[in-house]
Structure 1
Amino acid sequence: MGEQRARGPRIVPAGQVSEERKRLLAEVGDDLWGIELLRFAIQQAVAELGGLGGMVHLRGPSQGGGLRLVASSGLPPACAQAWERIDGNGPLAPARAFRDAGSVRVSMANVVAGMPQQPTSGRPDGSSAAPWSWPVGTAMVAVPLLCPGGPVGALSVVTVASHEPSPGQLAFFDALGRWVGERLSKSSATPPDSRLAGRREQPTGSHLPQELQTVGTWDWDIRTGDVIWNDAMLALFGVDPDTFDGRIETWMGIIHPDDLPWVLAEMDEAICAGRMYSSEYRVCRPDGTSAWVRTRGRLVVDDNGEPARMIGTLWDVTKTHDDLEALTEPGPGAAERAAAERASRIKQLTRALAEAATVRDVVEACADHVLPSFGAAGLILAFLEGGHLRPVGFTGYSKEFVERIARIPASGGPPIAESLRDRTPMFVNSVEEYIERYPTTAELPAAGGKKAWAFLPLIASGHPVGSCVVSFSEPRRFTGEERNLLTALSGLVAQAMERARLYDKEHTRARELQRGLLPRGLPCLPAVTAAARYLPAGKDMEVGGDWYDVIPLSADRVAIVIGDVMGHGVAEAVTMARLRTAVRTLADLELSPDELLSHLNDLVSDLGDDFYATCLYLVYDATNRSCALARAGHPPPAVVRPDGTVLFPEADPNSPLGAATPPFDIVDMELPEGSLLVLYTDGLVESPTFDIDQGMAQLAKALNGTITGFPPCRHAPDAAGPQSAECLECLCDRLTTTLLPGEETTDDAALLIVRTHALPGDDMACWPLPDHPRAAGEAREHVRAQLHDWDLDGLSMTTELLASELVGNVVRHARGPIHLRLLRSNVLTCEVSDGSLTTPRIRRAADTDEGGRGLQLVAALSHRWGTRFTANGKCIWTEQPLKPEPATLLPEQSPLELYELLSD
Structure 2
Amino acid sequence: MNGSVQAAGAWDAAGAWRPWGSAEAEDLRGPLDITVAATVVLDARDRVIGWSPAAEALLGHAAEDILGRPVDVFLCGTAPAAASGPPSGPAAGPPEPGPSPASSVLPGAPGLPFRGHEPRLARHRDGHAVPVEAAVSELAGGGTAARVLVLAETERLRVWESRLAMLDGLATQSPIGLAIYDTDLRLAWANAASSAEIGRPFPQYRGTHADELYPGGALVTQGHPRTLDAVMRQVLDTGEPVLDVQFLGELPSDPGRDHLWSCSYYRLEDAEGRVLGVCEDAFDITDRYDAQNRLALLVEAGRRIGTTLDAVVTAQELADVAVPGFASAVEVDIVPGVLEGGEPETGRPARGGFVRVARAPARAARTVIEYLPGTPQLRSLSSGGKVLDENALVVPLRVGSETLGLVTFTREGRPAVFDNGELALADELVARAAVRIDNARRFTREHAAALTLQRELLPQHLPWHSAVEVAHRYLPTDGATGVGGDWFDLIPLSGARVGLVVGDVVGHGLPAAVTMGRLRTTVEALAELDMAPDELLARLDDLVVPASDAFQGPGEGRTGEAAGAYVAAGPHPDVTTGATCIYAVYDPVSGRCTMARAGHLPPAVVAMDGSYHYPELPAGPPLGLGGLPFESMEIDLPAGSLLALFTDGLVEARDRDIDERLDLLGQVLAAHRELPLEELCDRVVAELLPDGTTADDTALLLVRTREFDAGQVAMWELPAEAVAAGRARELITGQLSTWGLDELAFSTELVVSELVTNAVRYAQGPLQLRLIRDRTLLCEVADTGHTSPHLRHSTAEDEGGRGLFIVAQLVQRWGTRYTRSGKTIWTEQAFPDGVPAV
TM-score by length of 2: 0.55
CA deviations over 1:330-350 (Å, ceiling 9, x no partner): 999993479999989988666
Aligned to 2:807: 858
Which protein has the bigger helix share? 1
The answer (yes or no) to whether the contact 1:644–1:706 under 8 Å persists in 2 is no
Q: Which of the residues 625, 635, 655 maps onto 1:659?
A: 625
2:503 and 2:366 map into 1 onto residues whose CA distance is 46
Q: CA deviation at 1:201?
A: 8.6
In structure 1, list runs of 5 or more residues that go unmatched: 1-194, 209-323, 430-451, 711-726, 886-904
Alignment of 1:631 onto 2:597: yes
The answer (yes or no) to whether the contact 2:639–2:706 under 8 Å persists in 1 is yes
1:555 aligned counterpart, secondary structure: helix
CA deviations over 1:247-289 (Å, ceiling 9, x no partner): xxxxxxxxxxxxxxxxxxxxxxxxxxxxxxxxxxxxxxxxxxx
Q: Which of the residues 540, 543, 547 maps onto 1:600?
A: 540
Aligned to 1:424: 385
1:880 and 1:543 map into 2 onto residues whose CA distance is 42
2:495 aligned counterpart, secondary structure: coil
State the one-letter code of the partner of 1:676.
Answer: L
Instruction: Give the direction of change, closer, same or farther, for the CA distance of 1:586–1:645 in structure 2 (3 Å limit).
Output: same
Alignment of 1:747 onto 2:708: no
Alignment of 1:613 onto 2:553: no
1:415 and 1:793 map into 2 onto residues whose CA distance is 86
Q: Which of the residues 701, 707, 712 maps onto 1:758?
A: 707
Q: Which of the residues 648, 660, 667 maps onto 1:694?
A: 660
The answer (yes or no) to whether the contact 1:371–1:378 under 8 Å persists in 2 is no
In structure 2, list runs of 5 or more residues that go unmatched: 1-217, 232-244, 260-285, 339-343, 550-561, 567-577
Alignment of 1:804 onto 2:745: no
Mark the structure with the bigger radius of gyration: 2
RMSD, matched Cα = 4.4
Q: CA deviation at 1:459?
A: 2.6
Alignment of 1:463 onto 2:401: yes
Instruction: Give the direction of change, closer, same or farther, for the CA distance of 1:624–1:479 in structure 2 (3 Å limit).
Output: same
Q: Percent same amino acid at aligned positions?
A: 40
CA deviations over 1:476-535 (Å, ceiling 9, x no partner): 997454877655544333223222222322333333333333322222211111122233
2:491 aligned counterpart, secondary structure: strand
The answer (yes or no) to whether the contact 1:631–1:664 under 8 Å persists in 2 is yes
Alignment of 1:848 onto 2:814: no
Q: CA deviation at 1:598?
A: 1.6
Instruction: Give the direction of change, closer, same or farther, for the CA distance of 1:422–1:858 in structure 2 (3 Å limit).
Output: farther
Alignment of 1:669 onto 2:609: no
1:662 and 1:351 map into 2 onto residues whose CA distance is 47
2:485 and 2:690 map into 1 onto residues whose CA distance is 22
1:353 and 1:605 map into 2 onto residues whose CA distance is 41
Aligned to 1:238: none
Aligned to 2:517: 577
Instruction: Give the direction of change, closer, same or farther, for the CA distance of 1:539–1:731 in structure 2 (3 Å limit).
Output: same
Q: CA deviation at 1:426?
A: 4.4
Aligned to 1:678: 644
Q: CA deviation at 1:423?
A: 2.3
The answer (yes or no) to whether the contact 1:363–1:393 under 8 Å persists in 2 is no
Instruction: Give the direction of change, closer, same or farther, for the CA distance of 1:806–1:454 in structure 2 (3 Å limit).
Output: farther
2:376 and 2:425 map into 1 onto residues whose CA distance is 20
1:832 aligned counterpart, secondary structure: strand
1:550 aligned counterpart, secondary structure: strand
CA deviations over 1:173-198 (Å, ceiling 9, x no partner): xxxxxxxxxxxxxxxxxxxxxx9733
The answer (yes or no) to whether the contact 1:538–1:745 under 8 Å persists in 2 is yes
Alignment of 1:736 onto 2:676: no
State the one-letter code of the partner of 2:405.
Answer: S
1:485 and 1:662 map into 2 onto residues whose CA distance is 61
Aligned residues: 524
Q: Which of the residues 340, 360, 368 maps onto 2:312?
A: 360
Q: CA deviation at 1:665?
A: 2.2
1:540 and 1:571 map into 2 onto residues whose CA distance is 17
TM-score by length of 1: 0.51
Q: Which of the residues 778, 781, 793 maps onto 1:832?
A: 781
Aligned to 1:16: none
Aligned to 1:545: 485
The answer (yes or no) to whether the contact 2:308–2:480 under 8 Å persists in 1 is no
Instruction: Give the direction of change, closer, same or farther, for the CA distance of 1:332–1:881 in structure 2 (3 Å limit).
Output: farther
Q: Which moved more, 1:329-338 or 1:595-604?
A: 329-338
Instruction: Give the direction of change, closer, same or farther, for the CA distance of 1:879–1:358 in structure 2 (3 Å limit).
Output: same
2:536 aligned counterpart, secondary structure: helix
1:741 and 1:584 map into 2 onto residues whose CA distance is 33
State the one-letter code of the partner of 1:647.
Answer: H
2:251 and 2:516 map into 1 onto residues whose CA distance is 62
The answer (yes or no) to whether the contact 2:486–2:697 under 8 Å persists in 1 is yes
Instruction: Give the direction of change, closer, same or farther, for the CA distance of 1:672–1:417 in structure 2 (3 Å limit).
Output: same
1:335 and 1:864 map into 2 onto residues whose CA distance is 88
1:780 and 1:685 map into 2 onto residues whose CA distance is 54
1:801 and 1:371 map into 2 onto residues whose CA distance is 86
Instruction: Give the direction of change, closer, same or farther, for the CA distance of 1:361–1:834 in structure 2 (3 Å limit).
Output: same
Q: CA deviation at 1:552?
A: 1.1
1:678 aligned counterpart, secondary structure: strand
State the one-letter code of the partner of 1:197.
Answer: V
The answer (yes or no) to whether the contact 1:416–1:467 under 8 Å persists in 2 is no
Q: Which of the residues 532, 541, 558 maps onto 2:498?
A: 558
1:399 and 1:692 map into 2 onto residues whose CA distance is 39
Q: Which of the residues 319, 323, 335 maps onto 2:256?
A: 335
CA deviations over 1:187-235 (Å, ceiling 9, x no partner): xxxxxxxx973336999xxx99xxxxxxxxxxxxxxxxxxxxxxxxxxx
Instruction: Give the direction of change, closer, same or farther, for the CA distance of 1:875–1:414 in structure 2 (3 Å limit).
Output: farther
2:721 and 2:251 map into 1 onto residues whose CA distance is 110
Aligned to 1:189: none
2:579 and 2:698 map into 1 onto residues whose CA distance is 14
Aligned to 2:333: 380
2:741 and 2:504 map into 1 onto residues whose CA distance is 45
Instruction: Give the direction of change, closer, same or farther, for the CA distance of 1:197–1:730 in structure 2 (3 Å limit).
Output: same
